[in-house]
Structure 1
Amino acid sequence: MRILGLLFSLFFITHLTVAQLSSPSRYLGYELGSNFTYHHQVINYLNEAHTAYPKKTLIHNYGTTSEGRPLTLLVISSEKNIARLDKLKSDNIIRAGLSDGKTSTDVPFVWLGYNVHGNEASGTEVALKVIHHLLEGDEVKLNDALENLVVIIDPCLNPDGRERYVNDFRMKKGKFNNSSVSHWTHKERWPTGRYNHYLFDLNRDWAWQTQRESRLRYEVYKEYMPHVYVDFHEMMPQYSYFFGPPAEPIHQSITPWQRKYQRIASDNYETLFKENQWDYFTEEIFDLLYPSYGDSWTSFNGAIGFTFEQGGHGVAGLEFKSSNIIQPITLKGRIEKHFETSMISIYTASENKKELLHQFEHFFDHAPNNGYQHFIIKDSFRKKKNIDRLLELMDRHQIAYSYATDDFNVTAYDYFSNSELKSKVNKGDIILNVHQPKGRALQVLMEPFTERTDSLTYDLTAWALPFAYGVEALAVKHKINHSFYSNQTFKNNSTEENGNTLFIPWSSVDNIKVLTSMMGVESVFYLDKDTVIQEMEFKKGDSFIFQPHKNLMKDLIKESSFKWLSLSEDDFNNSLIAFKKPKVSILGGAETNALDFGALWYYFDEILNYPMSIIDTENLTTSKVLKSDVLIISDGRYSPNTKKVVDNFVKSGGKVILFEDAIKIMSENSLTALYESLNRTEVQETRSSRVKGRKATNMNAAGCVLKVTLNSESNISNGLEAYFNLKQNKTFLPLLNENYNLGVLKEDALVSGFMGHELQERMPNTSIITSENLKNGTVIYFVESPVFRGFWWNGMHILSNAIFFPYNE
């Protein structure tokens, strides 16, 4: 009997042990905070947690990064809630007005997101500690919270960037920790771990959805539609700890309840920090205006969005000490603070769950009554693919739209003319109404002007999508009393295959993608001037392929707007020029600005699908670049060797395209026209050297939109009905020879967003796109990167013009 009892006890103990989750330290084999954890170890620990507690957890693998690393969530709650998780999710979609039905559950979702910036590396370590505590903790308060809530742990939003940081750090780590600021573990190599594979800042991509990680995560996010979203960050080591409420300006679409809840939670965070005698600050620096942050876009989707920032960052490593820091900053200490605020975020939501659910439903029930009530996108064959891109983004954001069934007139703001006027709406134009569940998000994306309570802001102050996509649009303040087709029933007329000449207008990046893929396979021609043939109007840059192989290209051309015509080359009276497919190289490496380089890399790889070479500045020689026809150089700080190589390339007949500070490569060359006419101090004043503080706002351009007058005689204007530039620095270029000035700013160029009054006074009759000949080559200067953040389609189009057409011949 004793033997049976002993066996029973051993059986019970064994099964009890299996049901337990090892602490992160025990599982990893080192104390949490004594090293940085590899991503595969993190994923393994999530699987271990699910194996130990299969009834209290759910593993959600939602895809892989560009480099193939898994993107994984761990959902944690009570056994009861996990068992009915699908019902909880469907009820929440009903609350958001995105599905019909009645709700019968009352459980909010809290989403904790860590490490969107890969080198703010304490976040993922924190996630491991939170997971262990939620599953192994036994306090009444914790158990109540898991009955009241579903907690979603996103341990690493940016695995590629974080692994870049972790690999670099662990490679440099020796036997002893060294807290000295000069030690090499406190200095990351280019391009740093902050960014994802294509060197994008994923915390600026929530609304624009350009990156793979953003798109995959957003699909899962929409399944849950959390009521609280918390984004964990780190800032430079000299700062303490930031939690909400955010600083002004706060976007006007943030509701009174969202502001109130920020203060409710803030009171709890303050209590924690005071009890532990930890330094902190709130309502400073980190505002809530720009819509594409993790905290802002989730707020525009009904959640209470939080940002936490603590001193540490990639600089701090495992331990950091400098002259302006009293106590050394340790990874263990950073983990502790983010862990505590993670838990308080959960407990605060649990205590306020009833009001969270009520206000969440209210958010979607009540459309905004102030501001513009309808937005109209004008239908256009030429801009069809840009319109499709914009509507694809609306679909992704679950924003409904419809189509006008007949013609009518409205008084509206016209984006292209930047004025209020009476406009005609045609049958087939797209209508977007703010009176829908995602009406606030729609208003944020389309608003031509954003109200600001403070001119000192952290990011962009203008972003309206019609400017970004280059589509003609209207904004209407009053109700429109007309019937519309739903987006489910309206059908566009298809293009019939009559004729043997393929016409594709050079009017969108998608059309350009198709045309450039045909270069070298078919003879592709473009018009060198506007032309009318058989009462058909064609624009300069429009492209034609005569007698093409229809069967070979029928699938490819579906990605463009096209027509088959019964025209021959003779009908064009010698106004056609054959495209030459250029060999393109771009510079990468430590001399380049990682963000601007990444956007350029992404443009070629993922947008244009056009092969190019990336040449590292560290190994740059003239012989390497001479294999190219076009050399594109993004913002950066360039060495004398780079300048010499570029100069040789231009003199040998190459085309160089320079962005932002890369302009200095040629502006400091005494042989250029720009050198002679430039006040050199102007080109020095870029984003990287802004004067800090409020006095600087007089000379600041905080992501404002400018209407650029393009040189209609130049190829730079091909396919563009209007060009809007997203201005972020305070650089303008002087006007050169008339033919060299490709994009000029006039007195009324400011369309939307903030620009300091002193900068506005300097702006008229300056240029932001300029070109010149040097010896046998061509140089094109862009004061701003036209591919900024991968969402400014108008800019990607104008860069394509600079690449594929000749200048100053």
Structure 2
Amino acid sequence: MKTRYTSLILIFLFLSFPLFSQEDYFFLNQGSFDPKIPSPSEFLGYDVGEFHTRHDRIVAYFRELSRLSDKVHVQEIGETYEQRPMIVATITSQENYRNLESIREEHLKLTNPQVSLPSLEGMPVIIQLGYNVHGNEPSSSEASMLTAWYLTASQDPKVEEYLKKAVIFVEPVLNPDGRDRHTTWVNSHKGFPPVASAVDREHNEAWPGGRTNHYWFDLNRDWLPLAHVESQARLKFYHKWYPNVVTDFHEMGANSTYFFEPTKQYGSENPIIPRSNYDQLNYLLEPYFANAMNKIGSLYFTKEVFDNSYPGYGSTYPDIQGGLGLVFEQASSRGHLQESIHGDLSFPFTIRNHLVNSIATVKAAVENKNVFLKHQKEYFESAIEQAKDHPGEGYIFSDGGDENKARAFIDLLLQHKIKVYQSQKDLKTANRNFAKESSYIVPGEQAQFRMVATMFDTVVEFHDSLFYDTSAWSMVHAYGLPSATLSSRQFSSAGLGEQIDSSFLAAKNYPLNKSNYAYLFSWQDYNAPRVLQELLEEEVITKTAYQSFSIQTGNGVKQYTPGSILVPVAMQKMSSENLHKLLQDVAIEHKLDIQAVSGGLSSSGIDLGSRNFEKVISPKPLMIIGEGVSSYEAGEIWFLMDMKLDMPLPKVDILDFERLNLEDYNELIMVDGNYSLLQESGVKRIKEWVENGGTLIAQKSAVNWAINNKLINEELVKESDTLVEEDAGKLRYDYASAEAREGAKVIGGSIYRVDLDTTHPLGFGYTDRDLLVYRNSNTLLKQSKNPYSNVAIYKENPLVSGYVSKENLEKLPGTSSIMVSKVGSGKVISFIDNPNFRGTWYGTNKLFFNALFFGPIIDVPNAGN
């Protein structure tokens, strides 16, 4: 009883600070503060950590600091999907702020290998403190307010020195939408007194939780693909400054302690980054963080875990820009107070740990500023030297018949400050023809060489077999564009034409002659599905070609591959004039080449009245979401439908499925997840719905669900089939080897080759049977007994980039990547791999588009009939 009583007293003191000021808890022995500058608690009306602070209140506090102090200036760098402002506060001395633009211009000389090293004596170090990229890891945003107050109000001379020698950017919330989702949850479930039990509702968010952004994407994976508005805005600001030190504050399980870098040596490091980054800079700062934690008695660890290899992390991307990215992980209270093996963990305690390391980061960066400035200069100079030693002189890629996909990839390269040029001559290399008018060259010898290599190179050899995230990130493969590495001779032969800039991304003219007969557009273009959706929304009758043909158009004879869309004029509800205007508008808006034809007789192949044209049925999709379902993969599809197709997507919670009128929809989407919450009656309804003509689109483990519930008569490769030979009969392993041994068996994310049937409706729009897919699961599907059902099959030697164990690699060839199974009058489309990974796999998105638009009209032939 005495122990419990004492514990309650300590908790009460810890959370409400009745006997000492909050400033004493967070800033013990930190000197005096300017009374004219309100602390966060004075401004908010409650002690920091007593509640979780809403994003708008955090923004308001930073604006108040800016109003009261000439050391702080706030700017909006963007806006989230839910229209929350993304702010960055610049904190520096008055003199620095008056000369901010000249400081920026001088600092950018460090990133230019052609410019000699400027004087470092008076050059400030650039620090960017980033907080709360995962919305339900909230302690760091509270720490950001305390850090900003400390830097603004402290009257300690050393703080004045920091502001003279540094320009400090504070981004208090990297994920405003996710933070507010979590903040609302924990504040609305807070107990008075707080409940520490881990089973309490406060500590267990409802699906999908607050970790992710509006579309349920992890923004700490988006620095490379830049799928989202938050990342695009952040990177634009980042490249204005190229900070020297960048922080990335996180939280982890309540039973842990605190982690700061260095990360695990070699195994978790990016091979393109110079060793000096890991062996010198990381270890230079380590004592600062250790001392800060020692002073307040907090436990911590280093070097054991956490991945620093994937370029899309907020703690890795700065490393590839000549800076130092730093990840911090704090054990999470996931609310206001939570039990842990170390006792009850309070929100203020988690905040304080991030606070002291924020201040330690500033101290370390300032005291070693010349080291960081010089490192950045040497980093970009060494990039040129590394490019000279690279096996290729540069890279070439073509649009592969899809201008819009190439345009999107070029936009990505430009956002990462990579130089791109038009090819001057036709070139044949790697068994591919690269026509000059549709091909582009990226030289290796440029300041951003390491980002260039990140975009184009493939890696299959690694120091480690354990990956916190994906082990493959070659973006040219994600976009599905034909590409090749160029030797010196080939590079010189192709020649650099005009340098591409943002004006290339602007729409060119897409004139469309009026027809009284029909219009055609190719399905190869990435934007074709968006145009088709707009036409279907307007109830325009459209047909898709099941075979190739060529035909005379107003601009000469054009070739059309399977999937091409026919828009006949005579059978439409709208007038020919309104149809022409609609098609002209969508052609311009979506940069799509639409051609008018005056008759239906083809030059070769099928005629326009052929029965090999099928009428497209307007998709009416529905997606099951909720507990057990992967919010990441559900979010990827939601994002794809909104942003790429402008197609409304009803999302029904798995617990509400029984109340749903399934007959209102013709397609049901089930992504990776556990669907055990679907009752037996729900499973029965889905079976009957498919048998009556519905199309089920199942992804990854949803395919397992369909097989286990006997919806489809297909077969998975069993665990026993993949048993490692050396493991057979083994009864004993060393305990310490468990993580490495078992982790190596997981396919964590890598790129593979499959053979795609381009004559199948799911393969429409593709002209090359060789297709690259992204795999991040161990689910293996045997080929269907119906040979017409196997749409995409893993090839021999399929690995292109990333890590996979030898045992798993041996099992992949011949297994199915995409399958269509007939079920009564309907069908199940099985995607074993994720065609929409992280919203950036343009190369396989069309597989999913095809499932949506052509799924209801796919016929599955029976072999022998």
Q: TM-score, normalised by structure 2?
A: 0.85
Secondary structure at the residue paired with 1:758?
A: helix
- The structure 2 residue matched to 1:290, chosen from 302, 306, 310, is 310
Residue aligning to 2:631: 594
Residues 52 and 201 of structure 1, relative CA distance in 2, 3 Å threshold: same
Q: Tell me if structure 1 keeps the 8 A contact 2:722–2:807.
A: no
Counterpart in the other structure of 1:634: 671
Asked if 1:611 corresponds to 2:648, the answer is: yes
- Match for residue 550 of structure 1? 580
Residue matched to 1:716 = 762
Q: Which amino acid letter does the alignment assign opposite residue 593 of structure 2? A: F
Closer/same/farther in 2, CA of residues 408 and 632 from structure 1, 3 Å limit: closer
Report the CA distance shift for 1:707/1:82 in structure 2 as closer, same or farther (over 3 A). Answer: same
Instruction: Give the RMSD, CA atoms, in angstroms.
Output: 2.7
Deviation at 1:166, TM superposition (A): 0.9
Q: 1:514 to 1:800 in 2, by over 3 A?
A: same
What does residue 774 of structure 2 align with? 726
Alpha carbons 1:504, 1:560 under 8 Å: kept: no
1:40 to 53, 56, 62: 56
Give the 3-state SS of the residue equivalent to 2:829 in structure 1: strand
2:562 alignment counterpart: 540
> Which residue pairs with 2:135 in the alignment?
118
The separation in 2 between residues aligned to 1:503 and 1:472, in whole angstroms, is 25
Contact preservation (8 Å) 2:697, 2:828: yes
- From 323, 328, 350, the equivalent of 2:366 is 350
User: CA 1:743 to 1:231, structure 2 compared with 1: closer, same or farther past 3 Å?
Assistant: same
The 5 Å alignment of 1:266-277 reads 266-277=286-297
CA deviation map 1:496-524 (0-9, x unaligned):
64674533211133122112211244332
1:91 is aligned to 2:106: yes
1:103 CA drift (Å)? 6.1
* 2:544 corresponding residue in structure 1: 526
Amino acid aligned to 2:322? G
Q: Which residue of the partner structure matches residue 739 of structure 1? A: 788
CA distance in 1, matches of 2:295, 2:452: 43
Q: 2-side partners of 1:683 and 1:250: how far apart?
A: 33
Contact 1:375-1:431 within 8 A present in 2 as well: yes
Q: Is the 8 A contact 1:21 1:49 kept in 2?
A: yes
Aligned counterparts of 2:285 and 2:357: Cα–Cα separation in 1: 10
The aligned runs of 1:485-504 (5 Å cut-off) are: 485-488=497-500, 497=512, 500=515, 501-504=518-521
1:441 to 434, 444, 451: 451
Q: Counterparts of 2:449 and 2:539 in 1: how far apart (Å)?
A: 46
Q: 2:338–2:344: 8 Å Cα contact kept in structure 1?
A: yes
Q: Identity across aligned pairs (percent)?
A: 25
Q: How does 1:553-564 map to 2 (within 5 A)?
A: 553-558=583-588, 559-564=590-595
Offset, 1:766: 1.0
1:184 to partner: Cα distance: 1.9
Q: Does 1:463 align with 2:466?
A: no
Contact 2:55 2:180 in 1 (8 A): yes
Cα 1:70–1:563 change in 2 (3 A) is closer
Matched, 1:385 2:404: yes
Where does residue 647 of structure 1 map in the other structure? Answer: 687
Residue identity matched to 1:630? E
Q: Which amino acid aligns with 2:263?
A: P
Would the alpha carbon gap of residues 765 and 496 (structure 1) be closer, same or farther in structure 2, given more than 3 Å must change? same
Is 1:407 matched with 2:426? yes
2:248 is matched with 231
Deviation at 1:760, TM superposition (A): 1.4
Q: Does 1:279 align with 2:299?
A: yes
CA positional deviation for 1:202? 0.3
From the superposition, tell whether residues 394 and 701 of structure 1 become closer, same or farther in structure 2 (CA, over 3 Å). same
SS at match of 1:699: coil
Determine if contact 2:472/2:802 at 8 Å carries over to the other structure.
yes
Match of 2:72 in 1: 57
In structure 1, the gaps of 5 or more residues are 1-15, 415-420, 686-690
- Do 2:460 and 2:803's aligned partners in 1 also have CA atoms closer than 8 Å? no
Instruction: Report the CA distance between 1:477 and its aligned residue.
Output: 4.7
Q: How does 1:292-441 map to 2 (within 5 A)?
A: 292-312=312-332, 314=334, 317-322=335-340, 325-366=341-382, 367=384, 368-369=386-387, 370-371=389-390, 372-380=392-400, 382-409=401-428, 414=430, 426=436, 428-441=438-451
Q: Distance in 2 between matches of 1:585 and 1:671?
A: 18
CA contact (8 A) 2:716 2:779 kept: no
Paired with 2:295 and 2:820, the residues of 1 have a C-alpha distance of 62
User: Secondary structure in 2 aligned to 1:152?
Assistant: strand
User: Aligned partners of 1:669 and 1:755: how far apart in 2?
Assistant: 30
- Counterpart in 2 of 1:255? 274
**Displacement of 1:196:** 0.7
- CA 1:567–1:285 in 2, change beyond 3 Å: closer, same or farther? farther
> Is the aligned partner of 1:804 residue 2:853?
yes
Aligned partner of residue 527 in structure 2, secondary structure: helix
SS at match of 1:796: helix
Once structures 1 and 2 are overlaid, which stretch shifts more, 735-744 or 365-374? 365-374
CA shift in 2, pair 1:326/1:495, >3 Å: closer
* Alignment-mate amino acid for residue 770 of structure 1: M
The separation in 2 between residues aligned to 1:40 and 1:493, in whole angstroms, is: 41
Q: CA deviation at 1:711?
A: 2.5
* Shift in CA distance, 58/269, structure 1 to aligned 2, threshold 3 Å: same
Residue from 609, 615, 622 that aligns with 1:585: 622
Q: CA deviation at 1:683?
A: 12
Aligned to 1:183: 200
Does structure 1 conserve the Cα–Cα contact (< 8 Å) formed by 2:293 and 2:356? Answer: no
- Residue equivalent to 1:700: 746
Query: 1:408 Cα deviation (Å)?
Result: 4.2
Please report how far the alpha carbon of residue 157 of structure 1 lies from its aligned counterpart in structure 2 after TM superposition: 0.5
Q: Which amino acid aligns with 1:699?
A: K
**CA displacement at 1:358 relative to structure 2:** 2.0
Deviations 1:212-240 (A, max 9, x none): 11112222222222111110001111221
Counterpart-to-counterpart distance in 2, 1:671 and 1:753: 34
Q: Secondary structure at the match of 1:551?
A: helix
Query: Alpha-carbon deviation of 1:267?
Result: 2.4
2:183 alignment partner, one of 166, 171, 196: 166
- Structure 1 residue 705 displacement after superposition: 0.5
Change in 2 beyond 3 A, CA 1:488/1:769: closer
3-state SS of the aligned residue for 2:830? strand
Deviation at 1:564, TM superposition (A): 2.1
User: Which deviates more from structure 2 when the two are superposed, residues 326-335 or residues 728-737?
Assistant: 326-335
Q: Could you tell me how far 1:700 is from its partner in structure 2?
A: 2.2
State the distance in 2 between where 1:728 and 1:451 align: 18
Structure 2 Cα separation of the partners of residues 567 and 449 of structure 1: 51
- What is the match of residue 79 of structure 1? 94
After TM superposition, give the deviation of residue 241 of structure 1 in Å. Answer: 1.3
Aligned partners of 1:111 and 1:154 also within 8 Å: yes
Distance 2:322 2:678 in 1: 52
**Map of 1:12 onto structure 2:** none
Shift in alpha-carbon separation, 1:120–1:313, aligned structure 2, 3 A: farther
